Amino acid sequence: MIIRRTAELAGGSPVVADSVPMSVHHDAASGLWTLTAPPRTLGAPVVVADRVCLPVDGRVTALDRSTGRVLWQTPHRVEFHSDFVSAVFAAGEHLVVPSSCTYMTKGDMISLAVLSTGTGDPSWSREAESISGFAAHDRTLVFWRLDAEERGRITAVDLSTGGLRWRHDLDALNAVLLAGDRVVASSAAGGRREVLGYDLRSGEQLWRTEAHGLPESLRLSGQDPSAEPVALAWNWLGSNLRWFSPATGGKLGSLRPRPGISFYGSDDPLTRADGESLWLTTNDRRRIDLLRPFAARPRTRTFTPLPRRLAYSSPELVEAAGRLYALARPAFEHEEAPWEERRGTLVVTARVDRPGRYRRLTPVRWPGAVPRSERHIMWADLTAGRNHVYVQGWHRDGTGRTLAVRGNRVLWQREGRSSVAVPLDDRVLLVEQGAERDHLYLVDGETGAFADPAVERT
């Protein structure tokens, strides 16, 4: 392990002359702004308090959230792991920047650098190693390497200095969860399928149990933050769900689907609806079950899409302002129809707070001014904001589209290849890539309005 300190990073790297050419257009009346940069240079933004941070031509850049004004930019270029996921991870006063160095058969080799959120000054960096994921809590950064066949690894370091706190090598490491001051791991050490709990700061093993099997997915339930946290353990091969205390490992409950029904076999098929409910899609993709495993009186409600199955999307389900949203294949379309002959997908929705055990998901309504030929779009991604849902995909002609939905209505759509949507209250940040330039737009979620950089500034 090699840790480079701040002086080593900054000492030989003065502010460079070839700074990235950028411009920001701010509309003071609406409060909207647009950042313009060279083509194929903008990465995914992340909102950190009063700032928006994103990579621009490989350099982490901080913008003022209200005006888009550039506050700072690092002089060091980094090859980011992906343009389509957040390339910067916010952890309190620090930004964790993972970069992809080399590509290996066992996975990507990722190096980590930690910057100051306020100034962008580098604190420390870590040489590349195989990393599957990371999380931070209370000035401790935890990262891990999953390996279902050989030995995995969990490492904890001091977030401020990069100094090693502890490290554990485990056989067949399937999943890791950071739950407050506990690190929970699903492992098959010594052939035993078990879940283990460690103290975040010391790495001391606090408990181990075989009661939860070998979960493929671990996550927090999303209950009231003031309540005791509850961890969920999901094993899709066995189609069972268990929930337990991350503090003690004690089992709190379990759920097995009704006989004859298997749930869709992804690594993480659970979508949280609220603190007490879980969404699960069935394997035949014709039904969505709303389960209440934590309630005093557990109940199941079923939502069916349409005569046709649910379409594939990422994620499969989202919830916003009391409504469930999903994508569905249109009726009378053959399951094996080639891409160029498909009619697209439908955005379907239903209220989740109305009574009744069985509910139907119905298509959202488009404005009458939008031609029917413009409504058949191959949707791929769903993003839930506070009151809006943003759907991103492609038209049959190959152009990218972003669609905004509120309630059961389509509010607006815009053309442009957008790699990511990041909700910001009732607005949304859209990164759109073009042949001549890239843009980061702050767009009004209700109207689709934006600050047009082509308009002459006053």
Cα–Cα dist 168/72, whole Å: 37
82, 33, 19: which is closest to 54 by C-alpha?
82
Pairing of strands 417-424, 427-433: antiparallel
198, 233, 231, 197: which is closest to 215 by C-alpha?
233
Report how far apart, in Å, the C-alpha atoms of 142 and of each of 155, 201, 450 are. 6, 10, 39
For residue 455, the tally of other CB atoms under 10 A from its CB is 10
What is the chain's alpha carbon radius of gyration, rounded to the nearest angstrom? 23
Looking at residue 385, what is its pLDDT?
A: 94
| 252 in Cβ contact with 244 (< 8 Å) | yes
Looking at residue 342, what is its pLDDT?
A: 61
pLDDT per residue as tens, the chain (458 positions)? 333 333 333 333 333 345 678 899 999 999 999 999 999 888 889 999 899 999 898 889 999 999 999 999 988 777 765 544 456 888 888 999 888 755 444 456 788 889 998 888 889 988 888 888 889 998 999 999 988 777 899 999 999 999 999 999 998 898 999 998 999 999 987 778 899 999 999 999 999 999 888 888 888 876 566 667 888 888 766 567 788 999 999 988 887 766 555 554 444 556 666 667 778 777 778 888 887 777 766 667 888 887 778 888 888 888 999 899 999 887 666 656 665 566 678 899 999 888 777 889 999 999 998 888 788 778 778 999 999 999 998 887 778 889 999 999 999 999 887 768 899 999 999 999 888 999 999 999 999 999 998 875 43
Cα–Cα dist 439/458, whole Å: 20
Looking at residue 70, what is its pLDDT?
A: 93
Looking at residue 91, what is its pLDDT?
A: 87
Looking at residue 112, what is its pLDDT?
A: 86
Strand-pairing partners, residue 171, are 151
Cα–Cα dist 362/418, whole Å: 26
Backbone angles phi, psi at 10, to 5 degrees: -90, -25
CA atoms within 13 A on the CB side of 288: 32
- Cα three-residue angle 246-180-84, rounded to 5 degrees: 105
What is the value of pTM for the model shown?
A: 0.86
Cα–Cα dist 52/170, whole Å: 37
Looking at residue 447, what is its pLDDT?
A: 96
**Which helix (H) or strand (E) covers residue 305, if one does?**
none
